[in-house]
Amino acid sequence: MGYEEEYQQKLVSAQEAVKVIKSGDWVDYGWCVTTVEALDKALAERTDELTEVKLRGGILTKPLKVFEREDAGEHFLWNSWHMTGIERKMAAKGLAYYAPLRYSELPKYYRENIKHVDVAMFQVAPMDKHGYFNFGPSASHLMAVCEVADHIIVEVNQNVPRALGGFEEGIHISKVDAIVEGENLPLGEIPAGPPSKIDKKVAELIVKEIPNGACLQLGIGGMPNTVGSLIAESDLKDLGVHTEMYVDAFVDIAKAGKINGSKKPFDRFRQTYAFGAGTKKLYDYIDDNPECMSAPVDYTNDIARISAIDNFISINNAVNIDLFGQVNAESAGTKQISGAGGQLDFVMGAHLSKGGKSFVCLSSTYKQKDGSLQSRILPTLAPGSIVTDTRANTMNIVTEYGMVCLKGKSTWERAEALISIAHPAFREDLIQAAEKMGIWSRCNKRDNVIIDD
């Protein structure tokens, strides 16, 4: 039997496909921009028939249909590997919960810890002539999900780009139980937005530290994307890419002729990534582009692999940091904002790389709802805050007031360094707090911490 004939035999409506889902099932919903849409809508239509269906995925770019009803929580529960604003709103209503992880371990979680998924369903690119459905910009951990799933449903979307790779970037029709042709809606987008003055200042400080031939990893958010924009405008050359998330900034850098991957020790001349999310510009760029290499996250985020690349540059965001150097990049106290992702993997890998550097960037302050200014550099993290990067792993911290490297520094040196890049309005208070905590010694000099702006 040919692939086209097999395709027609397995082709069903979304309503028919979701009949396999039972109360109490664990259902993987895809990942980021390839989260199901037609199947989500069809499952929502079955709400009254089901209870305690546990859905799982992450980085949602669109609201889910199954959670539109007021009583949705009586029927469905969302389990997120990494939250967005959509998922935070769901969590506030008791509809969603975060699953802590190091993103690099996610495929192993499925294969060795979770071990069983009742139904796996996700959007894919149209089948190729060899019978494969490409995972699009979401290879990440999807093959591991499929390997432990009892039932696999693919939702075909003509707008899913064919993201080339080397392994685990697609699934063969022989392993698929049902095929649904979706509505071919545009993929969800995560635009970076215009950079602020603070973003630009932080980016300027970082770009100065990047050498020719460096290999780049950019995290999600305005500051990393602004760094990418400045790199595209710079004189840097022979850059490489080995990243968890592929973002619009990489497209700009590549089109500016800055990326060729010639200095990488493996995957030479290719931009390697675990998943991609941005705007249509990004999806069009990676479609059938042999320069871009889609790979599972346990490959892209492997610390040993990262550290084997000379001059590896890792750039990520943070919510806040304390005077000991503990970085919180994912929560506001006990409220989960995003997730750990692969930040720690890249912080560690970059430091172990010959000539490598990791940068954690943040604005020195933010405004509370009442308009008051709050420092992001704190004496200690707020109760319940998550330590994404431990103090032993933190390297370069960057705000609009400067850059400091914490490697090799004792607690009193760290306190002085971090206070020096805090907003001037908070520096004296931070010094007093450091004194009370016993991390401000006779060797500290107030003159080294400029109090006036």
- Catalytic residue numbers, as ranges: 244
Radius of gyration, CA atoms only, the chain? 23
d(CA 83, CA 78): 11
CB 184 within 8 A of CB 158: yes
How large is the angle between the packed helices 248-255 and 222-233, nearest 10 degrees? Answer: 0
**In the structure encoding, which two tokens stand for residue 371, read together?**
């308009």
The 3-class SS string of the chain reads CCHHHHHHHHECCHHHHHHHCCCCCEEECCCHHHCCCHHHHHHHCCHHHCCCEEEEECCCCCCCHHHCCCCHHHCEEEEECCCCHHHHHHHHCCCEEECCCCHHHHHHHHHHHHCCEEEEEEEECCCCCCCEEECCCCCCCHHHHHHCEEEEEEEECCCCCCECCCCCCEEEHHHCCEEEECCCCCCCCCCCCCCCHHHHHHHHHHHCCCCCCCEEEECCCHHHHHHHHHHHHCCCCCEEEEEEEECHHHHHHHHCCCECCCCCCCCCCCEEEEEECCCHHHHHHHECCCCEEECCHHHHCCHHHHHCCCCEEEEEECCEEECCCCEECCEECCEECCCCCCHHHHHHHHHHCCCCEEEEECCCEEECCCCCEEECEECCCCCCCCCCECCCCCCEEEECCEEEECCCCCHHHHHHHHHHCCCHHHHHHHHHHHHHHCCCCCCCCHHHCCCCC
* Residue whose entry in the numeric block shows the structure tokens 């040919």: 2
Q: Which among 238, 216, 242 has a CA at the least distance from the CA of 229?
A: 216
Q: Which residues pair with 357 in a beta bridge?
A: 313
**How distant is the alpha carbon of residue 246 from its chain centre?**
9
* Cβ–Cβ < 8 Å for 323, 370: no
CA angle (293, 28, 65) in 5-degree steps: 110
